[in-house]
Amino acid sequence: MKKSRAYFSGIPTVAHEGPKSDRALAFKHYNPDEIVDGKPMAEHLRFSVAYWHAFRGTGSDPFGPGTIVRPWEAGKDPVSVAKVRMEAAFEFCQKIRAPFYCFHDRDIAPEGRTLAESNRNLDAVVAHAKQLQQATGVKLLWGTANLFSNPRYMCGASTNPDAHVFAYAAAQVKKALDVTKELGGENYVFWGGREGYETLLNTNLKREQDHLARFLHLAVDYARSIGFKGQFLIEPKPKEPTKHQYDFDVASGIAFLRTYGLENHFKFNIETNHATLAGHTFQHEIEVAAAAGMLGSIDANAGDLLLGWDTDQFNTDVRELTLAMISILKAGGLGTGGFNFDAKLRRPSIDPEDLFHAHIGGMDAYALAFKLARRILAEGKFEKFVADRYASFDAGFGRDIETGKANFRSLEKLVLTKLGEPVPKSGKQEYLENLLMSYLHGA
């Protein structure tokens, strides 16, 4: 196979030059080869390029068409264009030092007139992807199926009122699982884009939730039957495109999975912009998933808090990311997950170079947050503060409460005969925020 090095010819592989470098196309903080706790930083952060934004995004919005024109998109045969595009994508992943990529089935290969034709297109491009993965070492973090763009899915896929659409979606996910396995995908994601409703006037909510759960059980059963060992992930999002989505946030996702006996098969893929759309912080969603032992992966992006929709921007907010990283590291990391840049260029950012600036910023912000979080956890000041705050539960009657030895009668007796009125203690929020600031600004 010919070596593909022609698509970003003016841009060399991005090097780590350190925080003092003033070169825009260099990493200041992300040093993939630096050994941290016995393994390269690249293996801790497991960055991934999102195929749909980086290589299918055109800059279009509801008010106007695309603005981004890539030279490799020219060509009459869509499968040949898909293969060339894929070569550009692998060159980009290598040059940006991202060890992973992620895709929806329809991102990488064009949809045909029939399911059989779509599957043939996919097979042709997947064979090419397999060769490119072998040649470059870039791996598949996760695969998924696009069950939201085609008009057949306008009223949902597994939650569609028409069983025919459920069947079609099942066939599509079956194939997406096959190709994810074929490419060594380490996870498989379900984002329920149209698995929700626009109005309850036409919706049987209970039946739709039952159908969604049935679909997920069928996916788990099929995956097991073909020997797919990857981790299944649910990606919650409260709304957009639908008014209400069933995987609203992590807490409602946990309740859903437990209700239907799916909790041992799924973890969560948490997206920053989806967290804020649900009225939560990014760190909150991570903590809720971690508390249930279900933290799986991250879709790394940011929303604009002044806008009420999913703007999918690259995140350079080091404060937000440091807080997130503290929670991720405390939870023991992401396992087979990673940080996938589900983020897109702004409509006027039309140069190929902008793709590099965007990812460099996102990777540097995460790498800096990773270092800061490690320092904060190593010094343990916040953890000690929190541990001390709950210390009354470590011994005596507090311990009896936690272990189930105490009851309302024994606690009443204790208060009446011994304890009396509790003494209020400060939560010291301002002190803690100042402490965080001293880490963020190097003092």
Build a one-symbol-per-residue string for 370-389: x at contacts with ligand XUL by CB under 6 A, - elsewhere. Answer: --------------------
Report, in Å, the least distance between residue 235 CB and Co ion.
5
Report, in Å, the least distance between residue 165 CB and ligand XUL.
18
Report, in Å, the least distance between residue 132 CB and Co ion.
23
- On the CB side of 181, CA atoms within 13 Å amount to 15
Query: Can you tell me the distance from the alpha carbon of 86 to that of 274, in angstroms, rounded to the nearest whole number?
Result: 28
Report, in Å, the least distance between residue 233 CB and ligand XUL.
10
Point out the catalytic residue in the list 44, 104, 211, 274.
104
Among 87, 107, 195, 271, binds ligand XUL (CB under 6 A): 271
Residues 331-350 that bind Co ion (CB under 5 A): 342
Q: Other CB atoms closer than 10 Å to residue 34's CB: what's the count?
A: 14
Residues 121-150 that bind ligand XUL (CB under 6 A): 144
CB closer to ligand XUL, 70 vs 239: 239
Point out the catalytic residue in the list 105, 107, 247, 299.
107
Query: Can you tell me the distance from the alpha carbon of 101 to that of 250, in angstroms, rounded to the nearest whole number?
Result: 24
Q: Does 344 bind ligand XUL (CB under 6 A)?
A: no
Among 285, 310, 320, 364, binds ligand XUL (CB under 6 A): 310
How many residues interact with ligand XUL (rule CB under 6 A)?
10
Q: If you search the block for the tokens 């007796």, which residue do you land on?
A: 413
Q: Does 153 bind ligand XUL (CB under 6 A)?
A: no
CB closer to ligand XUL, 32 vs 192: 192
Q: Does 237 bind ligand XUL (CB under 6 A)?
A: yes
**25 is written with which tokens?**
């196309």
Report, in Å, the least distance between residue 233 CB and Co ion.
10
- Can 104 be counted among the known catalytic residues? yes
CB 172 within 8 A of CB 147: yes
- Can 342 be counted among the known catalytic residues? no
Residues 86-125 that bind ligand XUL (CB under 6 A): 104
Interacting partner of 46 out of ligand XUL, Co ion, none (Cβ under 5 to 8 A depending on kind): none
Q: Does 191 bind ligand XUL (CB under 6 A)?
A: yes
Contacts of 424 (CB under 8 A, 6+ apart): none
Report, in Å, the least distance between residue 345 CB and Co ion.
16
Among 287, 299, 320, 364, binds Co ion (CB under 5 A): 299
Among 247, 271, 285, 310, binds Co ion (CB under 5 A): 271
CB closer to ligand XUL, 181 vs 237: 237
Q: Which residues pair with 339 in a beta bridge?
A: 47, 298
Q: Report the interface residues with Co ion, using CB under 5 A.
A: 271, 299, 342
Q: Report the interface residues with ligand XUL, using CB under 6 A.
A: 104, 144, 189, 191, 235, 237, 271, 299, 310, 342
Which residues are known catalytic residues? 104, 107
